[in-house]
């Protein structure tokens, strides 16, 4: 019987026939952020190259929840911030990981998230220091965004007790409270040209609060890099706004077959214009850098594609 199984396995490899998973669940984030529309775009691409599998897109609280779900076998692909992936691999309990998540494997680095601090102009908030005593939403509790918020405030010599009121809310909820004058500002981690910021800017006058280079340099994590939000990204934004950026990743599990991950990786890079139609953040995805500087091992399927494409030697 063992010989028969091995022989069948050899036949499958030689004919290129393989057993696809029944489901491919893509773990994203809030529906008004960037992860979700990109997840929908990926599902459409995967549907063409993996017609044998049922592809679904799940809205979540983003990075931390996504990584824990992957570890528990409740998803096949997830979006996550690079610093959260590093925390998950190490089992950082303060970041929301009870133990090291060693089943995680990288598909690759994609676009960068920018820390975007958006305040109502009539709140009088112009600088990080002006957040003291104000009503601020900091991202969903223990989400990647909320972990980013803690780092930014720490680098600026502040902490949650310095704020007047802290709300643990995602994009959509924060926008509604800002519109209704129930918040003064929100700190969110997202791709540029984010729909939730545009939505808010059409309803009220907003100010993008800078994270100066000298503050960014105090963050003790190589995942954070000085960056800027280019002028014109949002309505009435007349100047570049200094901030910090963190690279996002596509992550999978060691349990997903090599051939499946190979096809998913290849199809994404061969259909980047289609993915960019889902959200412009995909325009920043580059094959040349996708496999570099990752905090967890590459999945063998992704590695095979990068070597085939010349992105890895």
Complete DSSP assignment for 136-165: EE--STTSHHHHHHHHHHHHTT--GGGBSE
Residues of the chain with CATH 3.40.190.10: 22-111+247-309, 113-246
Regarding the domain delimited by 22-111+247-309, which CATH topology (the fold level of the hierarchy) does it fall under?
D-Maltodextrin-Binding Protein; domain 2 (3.40.190)
- The yes-or-no verdict on residue 43 having pLDDT over 50 is yes
Q: Quote the pLDDT of residue 33.
A: 85
Pairwise CA distance, residues 198 & 96, whole Å: 30
Q: Residue 77's pLDDT is what?
A: 98
Q: Could you give the C-alpha distances from 135 to 74, 106, 131, 209, 241, in angstroms and in order?
A: 35, 37, 8, 15, 22
Say if residue 156's pLDDT is above 90.
yes
What's the pLDDT band for 17 if we cut at 50, 70, 90? Answer: very low
Mean pLDDT of 255-275: 97
Q: Are 33 and 190 in contact (CB under 8 A)?
A: yes
As a whole number of angstroms, the distance between CA 152 and CA 246 comes to 12
Three-state DSSP class for 95? helix
Tell whether the model's pLDDT for residue 13 goes beyond 50.
no
CA gap 141, 143 in Å, rounded = 5
Q: Which of 24-28, 142-146, 241-245 has the lowest mean pLDDT?
A: 142-146
Task: Write down the pTM of the prediction.
Answer: 0.80
Paired with 197 in beta bridges are none
Residue holding tokens 């096809």? 263
Mean pLDDT of the 270-282 span: 95
188's tokens: 């969110």
Bridge-based pairing state of the strands 104-120 and 206-209: antiparallel
Does residue 12 register a pLDDT over 70? no
- Res. 63: pLDDT tops 80: yes
- Mean pLDDT throughout 175-202? 94
- pLDDT for 212: 97
Are the C-beta atoms of residues 197 and 118 closer than 8 Å to each other? yes
Q: Can you name the residues that pair with 26 across neighbouring β-strands?
A: 57, 77
Q: Quick one: fold of 113-246?
A: D-Maltodextrin-Binding Protein; domain 2 (3.40.190)
**pLDDT at position 126 over 80:** yes
3-state secondary structure of 175: helix
Which pLDDT score, from 0 to 100, does residue 197 have?
Answer: 95
Say what the pLDDT of residue 191 is. Answer: 85
Rounded Cα–Cα distance for residues 225 and 240 (Å): 16
In whole angstroms, give the CA distance from residue 46 to residue 157: 45
Query: Pairing relation of β-strands 241-253 and 104-120?
Result: antiparallel
The first and second tokens of residue 132, run together, are 């003291």
pLDDT for 299: 98
The residues near 259 (Cβ < 8 Å, ≥ 6 apart) are 18, 301
Give me 296's structure tokens.
């967890």
Helix (H/G/I), strand (E/B), else coil: 293: coil
Question: To 5 degrees, how large is the angle CA 177–CA 136–CA 171?
Answer: 55
Higher pLDDT, 143 or 291: 291
């Amino acid at each position: 019987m063992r010989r028969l199984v091995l022989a069948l396995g050899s036949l499958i490899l030689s004919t290129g026939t393989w057993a696809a998973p029944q489901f491919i669940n893509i773990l994203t984030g809030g529906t008004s952020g960037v992860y979700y529309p990109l997840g929908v775009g990926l599902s459409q691409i995967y549907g063409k190259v993996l017609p044998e599998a049922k592809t679904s897109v799940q809205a979540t609280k983003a990075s931390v929840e996504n990584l824990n779900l992957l570890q528990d076998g409740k998803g096949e692909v997830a979006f996550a911030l690079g610093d959260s992936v590093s925390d998950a691999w190490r089992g950082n309990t303060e970041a929301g990981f009870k133990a090291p998540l060693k089943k995680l494997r990288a598909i690759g680095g994609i676009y960068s998230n920018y820390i975007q601090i958006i305040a109502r102009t009539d709140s009088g908030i112009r600088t990080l220091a002006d957040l003291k005593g104000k009503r601020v939403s900091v991202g969903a509790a223990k989400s990647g965004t909320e972990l980013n918020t803690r780092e930014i405030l720490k680098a600026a010599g502040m902490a949650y007790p310095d704020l007047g009121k802290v709300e643990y809310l995602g994009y959509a909820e924060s926008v509604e409270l800002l519109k209704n004058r129930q918040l003064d500002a929100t700190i969110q981690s997202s791709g540029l040209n984010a729909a939730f910021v545009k939505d808010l800017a059409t309803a009220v006058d907003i100010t993008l609060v800078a994270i100066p280079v000298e503050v960014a340099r105090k963050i003790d994590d190589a995942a954070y890099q000085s960056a800027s939000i280019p002028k014109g990204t949002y309505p009435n934004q007349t100047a570049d706004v200094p901030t910090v950026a963190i690279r996002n990743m596509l992550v999978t599990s060691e349990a997903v077959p090599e051939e499946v991950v190979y096809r998913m990786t290849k199809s994404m890079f061969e259909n980047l214009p289609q993915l960019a139609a889902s959200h412009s953040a995909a325009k920043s995805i580059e094959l040349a850098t996708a496999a570099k500087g990752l905090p967890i091992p590459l999945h063998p399927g992704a590695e095979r594609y990068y070597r085939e494409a010349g992105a890895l030697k």
